[in-house]
Amino acid sequence: MIPVKEFGRTGHLSSRVLFGAAALGEVNQKEADETFALLQKYGINHIDTARSYGEAEVRLGPLMKKDRKEYFLASKTNKRTKVEALEELYQSLERLQTDHIDLWQLHFLVDPQEWEIAMGEGGVLEAALDAKRQGLVKYLGVTGHGIDAPKSHFRSLLRYDFDSVLFPYNYLMMKHTQYHEDVDTLVSLCKERNVAIQTIKSLAKRPLGDRKIPFATWYEPLSDKDSIDMSVAYVLQNPDIFLNSTGDIHLLPFVLEAADTLLDYPTDEAMEALVKAYDMEMLFT
């Protein structure tokens, strides 16, 4: 079974690997049910989805209706105003067949202009606080893609005491000096406040460009056992963070097996060799 760790101040013992339900966006219910069985096999008890992830919430609905108490359920909204965000929250609750979401996150909140709208009067933060008062959500978080995500999250935490953050984290991203510094600054504040730290894009190999791939990810992922083993181990060697799994159900078994059988962590020399052997590139610049 994959180890568990307290998810920040929520007190929930979440599996170190969280299921990124973006992988369910374009699958049928049979494929989704097979994925749920795999999650149960490895003890994954934390699901991260979003209203914008295609049919993911719909696919999760039957599982939530049946086993809601077994999972910490997170979803997201990428709306920036209070009215739009609340409308999307009600849709998520209906699609997920539940009366509450454990963690509701302001999604991809990085752009400065969008940040001002979201955090201002009539913005999504007001919606989140209202939803929390009504018991529709228990905890609040903020997520982001791109090289500016950690810096934006730090700003968000100064505006409101969110319960979690989510940002890209892999070997190549952490080699970028400024990004590494921004992550360290954010992580320091999160540890001080006991804010849960979620990471994404552990398997990012390079931007997709014009290439066609047989996976559901919007980037080219690492896809063989050895490279996935090393990349998952690189992330999990940091005891402060959680790893959100891949956006493709066919790569998910490799991620879960890597986390389940993890024995040691790769050296920087080994990671450099991996980057060279697989012609890897930073996903965000």
The enclosing domain of 254 has a CATH number of: 3.20.20.100
- For the stretch 139-155, pLDDT in tens is 999 999 999 999 999 99
pLDDT tens per residue, range 2-41: 999 999 999 999 999 999 999 999 999 999 999 999 999 9
Residue 164: inside a domain, yes or no?
Answer: yes
Q: Structural domain of residue 72, as residue ranges?
A: 4-277
Coil, helix or strand at residue 26: coil
Q: Which residues contact 217 (CB under 8 A, 6 or more apart)?
A: 203, 246, 247, 248, 251
Number of H helices, E strands in the chain: 11, 12
| Residue 284 in domain | no
Q: Is residue 237 part of a domain?
A: yes
Evaluate whether residue 174 is within a structural domain: yes
Per the domain annotation, does 282 fall within a domain? Answer: no
pLDDT band at 64 (very low <50, low <70, confident <90, very high): very high
Residue 126 inside a domain? The answer is yes
Q: Establish if 283 belongs to a structural domain.
A: no
Q: How many C-beta neighbours within 10 Å does residue 282 have?
A: 18
Tally the domains of the chain. Answer: 1
Q: What is the pLDDT of residue 273?
A: 98
Instruction: Name the average pLDDT for the chain.
Output: 98
Q: How far apart are CA 187 and CA 257, in angstroms?
A: 27
Residue 32 lies in a domain: yes
